[in-house]
Structures are given as C-alpha cells and as structure tokens.
Structure 1
C-alpha cells in the first residue's frame, strides 16, 4: 500500500515543502505511537527516472509507503521489502536499482534490477528508526528490582509502579521513572501506547498492573506468579476492566520468562529479559503474540505456589474512604482474614459499610464480588472479627 502522495508517478505535481511537512508529521505520529519505521532517501539517479536526488519516503513495519522514491514497479516494491528487512534487523542499507544490477554492484551496496521500461538507475539509502523499547515493571519484588536494574543495559527504558518506592529518594544514577499511582488508567496514560509490561508485585497489585497493560495495548504482558494465583489475578483484572476473564487471560504470558531453571530474583529477571529480547527481535521491536503457552517455572520458584503473597502483611498506599470506622481500631480483611489497621489501608465502601484490606489485591477481589466474602445473613465479613 502506498500513500496518495506517490500516485501517478508524477512527482513534479507535488509541492516539495508540503511533502516534507507531511513526512515530518507522519514520523512524529509513528514516534508518538512507539512504532518502528524506515526512512528511504534517493541519493543518486541516472535518467530517465521520475525520482530526484533528495526525494524521500517513510515505510512502516506493515509495508505502507508514504512519500516518493519512484514508481511502484520501478522502485517502491524493492524499497518497501528492504525497508521492512531493515526494521527487522535494525541495520541500514544502500540499495542500487539498475537495468543490469552488475553495473552498480559494489561493496556496501545491495544491487537489484530496475524493472521500469525507462531503464534508469537509482540509489536509495534506507535507514531504520527503532524507538526505544519501553518496559513497565509493576511491583517491588526481588525479580522486579533486578529487572529494572538490568533492562537499561539492553537499551530498554524502564518505568516502575511502586507506591512505596516512589516516596523514597531515588538511588544515584538510577534512570527509571517511578510511579506512585495504582490507577490503571493513569498508569497507561503515563507509559503511552505499546510498552512491554512485566507484573511482579507478588499479589499486592498484580491485577492493576495487568489492567494497565491491557489499556496501554501492551504487546507483551508477563506475569510472575503461580498458576493458582494467576487465575485469581486474571479475575480481578477482568473486574477492573469490566472485561471477559478469558480475554484478559489470553493477553498475558504466565509464567513470564524462558525456562532456564531460574530460582533467585536475579535469575528470574534474566529469564524474562531473554524472552523480551526474543519478542523484540521477532517483531521489529514493538509487537508480539502475547499469551503464548510457556514452559517456564520461574514464577513458581519465586513465590509460594498457592498463597497470595499480598497477604504477607505489607500494606500498599491507596486511597482510603473517609469513615468513622477508621478510628475504631483493627479490622479484619474480609478476603483473607488478616488483621488490618485502617489508617492508610485500601478500603471499599459497600452498602454503607466500609471494609479495609491488607492490600490492593484483596480490595479488588472484594470489589468484584462483595457477597462472596460476606455473611449472607448479616452482611458481615465471613471471617469473624
């Protein structure tokens, strides 16, 4: 597919300044969306050909061409094919098109036949533009910490979601952006479209990380969790998104990472980075088939297989509803039965009563189906106070 600016092959009918402005806007939009593309520039010509030295085009990863480098049968098909290859391997190339490719062949130039009847000669420089890979790391587990520390070595820009860490002074030289919000919409807005996402909060706010990834159209959402907890997290995320749980399940990869026998947080991070490198390379650095079956056991090695780690006693920062009950002393989390001090704890108000939770994960579970956790006769938590 080509843009209208290339129709009829009569480049002289187009205003050069307008065409340049159009291409600049096209590049801006692609960059804003985090999509890779390639610039193609005519650097040499021998008439008769319709393109001139300095004519330019932008080629997307999908093979759409905007701009002008010669007619469809003359140059466009070759430029599109080679531009897509450049996007895939990240390497620029110099193309030569001539009736007899041997006439232009030389070291550093890839020669191709010019198929136009005019039999002119063109040389086109193709330069891939690969956006920096964005990675959203949700959580403060050992694996999450290692992942955030190692990812920049692979030209991956990291954003961390961790309310507790956001309040700390960042370590000297640390380049990651740290977000305090747990609102999926706000997280998605901060990271933009199409980041890679790894969720490793050990149950504290995994569902919110997955929901943010879905909202951001993440091509890869990896979850570090046991299969048992993953099922619970998917249900919570589906509730937050008002979506079908099966659709959410298909959007994630669990366990995240390649099977390298990982056990420590650092090893798990390495296994995940290996997977991200593979995904990035296979799709020109931006898209991937998320939710594929994996044979890795890294998530199970890092966490208890059946216990929801969010109930370990560590409280997340979250908005608490104003209520007279907040000063009444400890409450019982109706989801897991833990004793909770209401000050600073996540809370949900249901039918006029405010309930407090040990973590955002339990709060989200309760929000999805309050009756599941309440005594049907008394409207009280199934766990006695």
Structure 2
C-alpha cells in the first residue's frame, strides 16, 4: 500500500494521523524532497522520510503535533542545539546523522467533528449543505438508521415525525454534546415526554432547535441551528479545553542522548523490570552489551 493509499484509508476511517513531507534535504541525507510518510497515533510510521535516527525525531515531533493539532516544520541537522524552537518550527540535533540535514513538514490530519442529521426534509438538506464550510463532517441518515456515537459533536433530528424517538434516546444516553429536534414547541414537548430517558437527559434536547433569529426558510432555520451548535461548542471549550490526542511521553536515549517518543513503535527493551527506549536498533544493541553502564545514577 502506498503512502497516499494509507492516508486515504485513514481519512475514510476517521483515524487521526500526521502527514510528513520532506520539503528540503541536504546531502548526504538519505531522504529526498517530496518523500512522504504518515505517522499514526501509536507511533507507527508508514513511508520514508529518512533513516532510523531521523525517523525517531519524526515520530517524536509527529506525535507532539497530533496532540496539539498544530503543524510544525521539523529541521534535523547535525550539531544543532537540542530542541531549538521558533514559532511554527523546531530544530533538533541528530547525533546519529552521518551528515547533511533534512527539513520535514508535519501536518496533523484530525477528523472533522461528526454531526449526524436525521431526516430528508429541506432543513436536513440545508444543514448538510452548511456543515462542511463550518468544519463539520455531516452525515444524513433516515431515523431508523441513525447510529450516533459518543464522540459525535451533535445530532439533529429533522425528520418530521419519522424515527425521532430512537435517534434522540440513543444520542442522549451516549452523552452527545448537542442534541436538537426540529419541531414546533407543542409537538416537540410531546416527543420529549415520550422519551425513555431521565429528566436531566430530556432537558438537554434543544427543541425547537436553533437560536431565535426569526428564521423562516429551511436555510435560515439551518443557519440558526449551526449557530447554536457552534456557540455551545465554543462555550464548552472555554470551560474545559479539549484534550485532543493525549501527549506522548518523551524520554532520552541513554546511549546517544537523543529525545525519543516512549511508544511501542520506538526501539525499546525491558531489563530488570525497567523499560528503556532508543532512537534506533543500533543504540539498543549497544545498550544490551552493558546495561549497567547506562543505568541512571542513583
């Protein structure tokens, strides 16, 4: 499978990853401009952007960008100050590097928050049309096929009486942050009263869905709903910022002194119950010849 095919597969599966692209390479670096790879959340790298030591830095900083959701230009050069940083870029020394330097652009690819829209009404169509430009991945489904997930950003029922209760109940029980029902106040109250949920869960349903902007057309109603979704998401983020992908622990290779990501994809070994990580298999082999030599001072 090519790197492009792997990236396409991950996007389709809504799996977060980092796209790494070599933008500049100086001989005798083994990578070339245009080389690409993807770094998955477990640290596995598919593709080629440099030798094993450079790959270790790509893994470390790739996982960091995945946790911050901010792109980064990674410069790997011999003799640099470790971790020398500037806005949007970091320069790291690679003691294993035989010479040359390489610059790699790390771009986190995090799935857009999913919003499930139930129904085929004009409002549902308008919701689907407006969601993409706002940064949401909108899926439209009939009420009977609605399968909300706990990590969905929102569920909006706009099916005018078709399959409303099962979709609303499932979303409320899963804790979907925003649950909206497109209905009049009278009909909406009747639907909510019929739900087999707790009073606290029932109170979370926005019905009629959307901010009161005096909307009349399907597009205006959809706009009011998206405004409410965005407002509630921003308010929730202000109260408790999203943790994103958990940050990966970073440790020092005791042989060469490089900083490495403490993940299973990095070379590592467990001796006397203690696990040590390395930038490459060469450092791991050196360590195993005399583990006591590299034991931390007590």
TM-score of the two chains, using structure 1 as the length reference: 0.41
2:9 is the alignment partner of 1:29: yes
Other-structure match for 1:343: none
Other-structure match for 2:165: 207
Other-structure match for 1:183: 144
Change (3 A) 1:31 1:213: farther
Change (3 A) 1:33 1:278: farther
Q: How many pairs are equivalent?
A: 220
Structure exhibiting the larger radius of gyration computed from Cα positions: 1
2:20 is the alignment partner of 1:40: yes
Contact (CA 8 Å) 2:76, 2:91: kept in 1 or not?
yes
Contact (CA 8 Å) 1:138, 1:198: kept in 2 or not?
yes
2:58 is the alignment partner of 1:76: yes
Contact (CA 8 Å) 1:227, 1:254: kept in 2 or not?
no
Deviation at 1:48, TM superposition (A): 6.2
User: Superposition pairs for residues 238-257 of structure 1, below 5 Å?
Assistant: 254-255=204-205
Other-structure match for 2:76: 97
User: Superposition pairs for residues 139-178 of structure 1, below 5 Å?
Assistant: 147-148=127-128, 150-161=130-141
Change (3 A) 1:196 1:80: same
Structure-2 separation of matches of 1:102 and 1:160: 51
TM-score of the two chains, using structure 2 as the length reference: 0.50
2:180 is the alignment partner of 1:224: yes
Other-structure match for 1:113: 92
Contact (CA 8 Å) 2:144, 2:166: kept in 1 or not?
yes
Pairing partner for 2:232 from 271, 275, 295: 275
Change (3 A) 1:192 1:261: closer
- Which structure 2 segments of 5+ residues have no match? 182-187, 215-220, 246-298
Contact (CA 8 Å) 2:22, 2:102: kept in 1 or not?
yes
Query: Where is the strand percentage greater, Structure 1 or Structure 2?
Result: 2
Contact (CA 8 Å) 1:135, 1:198: kept in 2 or not?
yes
- Which structure 1 segments of 5+ residues have no match? 1-20, 162-180, 236-244, 286-385
Q: Which has the higher contact order (CA 8 A, sep 6+)?
A: 2
**RMSD (CA atoms):** 5.2
